[in-house]
Amino acid sequence: MHASWQRLLEPVAPEIENILAKIAHEDIAPPREEIFRAFENDLEEVQVVIFGQDPYPTEGNAMGLAFSVPTNVTQIPASLRNIFQELKSDLGFGRPLSGDLTSWERSGVLLLNRVLTTRVGETAAHSDLGWQNITNHIARELGARGVIAILWGKSAQGLSGYFSNYISSAHPSPLSAYRGFFGSKPFSRVNDILSSQGRSPINWSL
């Protein structure tokens, strides 16, 4: 974890330790060493945050970055396939070779789930442990720094009050993508906001 994130999370460190103690003996996703993967880069470099719900429960899929999967995962999760479809529709990019979104992170995008862990094989198994208090704390700080938020689905939309600039739509999951995610053009809209503020646009290519 980058030192800038350690400072930000210091006020909620006891809560984090309490959660980690509760799941100490569980088989979790992502692996323990990747729970805080999203916080490896300098907080100062974050221009955009995309909030997910909770990690992929399929073993080997979750890697600590919301919606992202490791390069060796060949069966791309349905939500990520829909994100790629909207990326192509919005900006014309072809389908990426893998589902690893690390290059977005390098371009200034924080990929953060509302809940940072789950049990392998179970969706939302840790939704009642208090991770939302942690991510609320993070959202408050990001909003104060002028970070632009992409909020997909009700869970993420609950954070809208922290941000002066945000883009909101249905979640990209197959259950809801056709109810407003497709056609929402979040990638170009984010870059339009950044350009209007005199900031560099995100390189969304993968």
- Residues annotated as part of the active site: 54
Two structure tokens written together for 161: 């009050």
Q: Write the Ramachandran bin of 8: left for phi over 0, alpha for psi from -120 to 50, otherwise beta.
A: alpha
Alpha carbon separation from 173 to 83, 153, 190 (Å, rounded):
9, 9, 21
Q: Is the separation of the CB atoms in 205 and 106 below 8 Å?
A: no
Number of Cβ atoms within 10 Å of the Cβ of 44: 10
Quote the radius of gyration of the chain (alpha carbons, Å).
Answer: 16
Q: Is the separation of the CB atoms in 194 and 202 below 8 Å?
A: yes
Q: Is the separation of the CB atoms in 101 and 70 below 8 Å?
A: no
| Residue 73 to residue 169: CA distance in whole angstroms | 27
List phi, psi (to 5°) of 69: -130, 155
